[in-house]
Amino acid sequence: MIDLHTHTLLSDGELLPAELARRAKVKGYRAIGISDHVDHTNIENVVTSMLRLSKHIAYHEGITILPGVEITHVPKDMIRELIGLARKLGIFYVVVHGETIAEPVEEGTNREAIVGGADILAHPGLITEDDVIRAKEMGVLLEISGRKGHSLANGHVGKLAEKHGAKLIFNTDSHSPSDLVSKEQAGNVVLGAGLTSGAFDTMQQNAFELLKRATEKRK
């Protein structure tokens, strides 16, 4: 199980990064990406903390920890700039908080995340076909979400991604220990979105490839 969208006390999660990683390992996770919420006010502090975490416990206890950020509710015309800043600061990968139907995300956020070069567009809601095509062209992973509310548009996202050949990824968007799921539970969420068990296996492979690219850049 690889999950590249989770949160800790560095933003609005319930656990310290080390405890989240430990609980994920016990749950059977092979790797976990910690991508706390950031905007212009806290990105430097979060990235510094995540890189310190990576240095000290990234490969301990049999689980890989990938330091990331989730750019969240940032005005759409500032998203590309913040993606660039996150990479300049040394973060391993960038998630952008997409246009979930569960929150009032600014219209146009999905497109700016894609053209700005995010690695993952989280819970993109009722994403347009044009943006799905752009995601395919840019290599941006579209998220199938395990989180309540954000998961309501999973079927729409999955259908358009399969139609246009865009790559998908399953993430839990965990904020608390109870949000972490087993591989079997994750597979069931994917099936519930109208996709196949084979689609879930492909999502896990997509996650592994992002993990590999991100870590190899730092060697």
What's the pTM value of the predicted model, to 2 decimals?
Answer: 0.96
Q: Answer yes or no: are the C-beta atoms of 93 and 33 closer than 8 Å.
A: yes
CA torsion 130→136→139→142, rounded to 10°? 70
Please report the pLDDT score of residue 53 as a whole number: 79
Please report the pLDDT score of residue 59 as a whole number: 55
Low-confidence residues of the chain, pLDDT below 50? Answer: none
Q: Cα–Cα distances in Å, from 71 out to 34, 58, 119, 206, 217?
A: 13, 22, 11, 21, 21
- Domain that includes residue 67, residue range: 2-216
Structural tokens at position 42? 């806290």
How many independent structural domains does the chain possess? 1
Q: What is the CATH number of the domain that holds 40?
A: 3.20.20.140
Please report the pLDDT score of residue 55 as a whole number: 67
Q: Cα–Cα distances in Å, from 43 out to 65, 91, 141?
A: 19, 10, 22
